[in-house]
């Protein structure tokens, strides 16, 4: 019987790549997405497309209300920053950081893993492009794994639980190259923090890093960027040029 793994799936480049990696390692994959009051529900549609295309044993979308606490541009009324130069992005914790998000997500994954009898959880955190997020660092993942092994039946019964973060030391370009090698069509994924019906905004940090990743990987970018709407006042200099 295939071993079971719970894979956290947002529907973006990173988690989609992780899903393909887990499948390729021979796991029966249980994909877990969250409807958590994020502005960008488009990513849930992407997660469903990815689950169907790559093939999972089950895809669960858990609804949780992180808006109840506020505190992030991704769940509250703080504006999503646009057109930031790369060197600004890499300083400090960005306002798009959702408080304790990975901790909350991993905790649900842990609950599901326990019910399934799964010993493996996969998460697409990445320490290089997102050094500003405390819960994307290797030492955080290690501490979470240690805690998880004390929290659960598995730990009590001596069956070790592993938190896999296979992208943690990769650049976005390396992630994309790995995914392409595994046959992923990234056109079905969604990374934008502020997507429009016509596509990704092309101007938030996430769009910027995605676009930069494809360019550096030397892989054609399949993303539908819609660009700015006409009534928006564009700041000078930092506009991300995209080809529609």
- For 9, 81, 114, 236, the CA distances from 149, given in Å and listed in that order, are 22, 38, 11, 50
- Binding status of residue 104 toward its own copies by CB under 8 A: yes
**Token digits of residue 138:** 């290797």
Point out which span in 80-88, 100-108, 169-177, 217-225 binds its own copies (CB under 8 A): 100-108
Q: Which of 65, 85, 160, 187 binds its own copies (CB under 8 A)?
A: 65
Residue 150 binds its own copies, judged by CB under 8 A: yes
Residue 137 found at the interface with its own copies (CB under 8 A): yes
Query: Residue 19: which of 197, 183, 150 has the closest Cα?
Result: 183
Q: How far is the CB of 179 from its own copies (least distance, A)?
A: 27
What mask, x for binding its own copies by CB under 8 A, covers residues 70 to 99? xx---------------------x---xxx
Question: What's the closest the beta carbon of residue 109 comes to its own copies, in angstroms?
Answer: 9
> Residue 62, interface with its own copies (CB under 8 A)?
yes
Between the CA of residue 179 and those of 20, 34, 111, 144, what are the distances in Å? 7, 23, 28, 26
Sequence-distant (≥ 6) Cβ neighbours of residue 220 within 8 angstroms: 214
Q: Does 102 participate in binding its own copies (rule CB under 8 A)?
A: yes
Instruction: Give bridge partners of residue 196 from the DSSP assignment.
Output: 199
Give the integer Cα–Cα distance in Å for 167 and 233.
36
Can you give the binding site for its own copies, defined by CB under 8 A?
60, 62-66, 68-71, 93, 97-104, 106-108, 110-112, 114-115, 134-135, 137, 139-140, 143-144, 146-148, 150-153, 155-156
């Amino acid at each position: 019987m295939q071993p079971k793994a719970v894979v956290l799936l947002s529907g973006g480049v990173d988690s989609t790549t992780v899903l393909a990696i887990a499948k390729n390692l021979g796991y029966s994959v249980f994909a877990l997405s969250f409807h958590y009051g994020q502005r960008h529900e488009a990513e849930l549609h992407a997660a469903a497309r990815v689950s169907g295309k790559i093939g999972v044993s089950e895809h669960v979308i858990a609804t949780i209300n992180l808006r109840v606490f506020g505190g992030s541009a991704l769940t509250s009324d703080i504006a999503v920053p646009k057109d930031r130069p790369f060197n600004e992005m890499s300083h400090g914790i960005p306002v798009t950081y959702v408080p304790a998000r990975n901790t909350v997500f991993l905790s649900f994954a842990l609950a599901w893993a326990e019910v399934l009898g799964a010993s493996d959880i996969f998460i697409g955190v990445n320490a290089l492009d997102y050094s500003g997020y405390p819960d994307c660092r290797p030492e955080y993942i290690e501490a979470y794994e240690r805690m998880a092994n004390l929290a659960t039946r598995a730990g009590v019964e001596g069956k070790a639980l592993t938190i896999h973060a296979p992208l943690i030391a990769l650049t976005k370009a390396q992630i994309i190259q790995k995914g392409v090698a595994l046959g992923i069509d990234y056109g079905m994924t969604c990374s934008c923090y502020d997507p429009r019906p016509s596509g990704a905004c092309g101007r938030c940090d996430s769009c910027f890093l995605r676009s930069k990743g494809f360019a550096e990987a030397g892989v054609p970018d399949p993303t539908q960027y819609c660009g700015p709407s006409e009534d928006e006042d564009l700041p000078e200099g930092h506009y991300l040029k995209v080809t529609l």
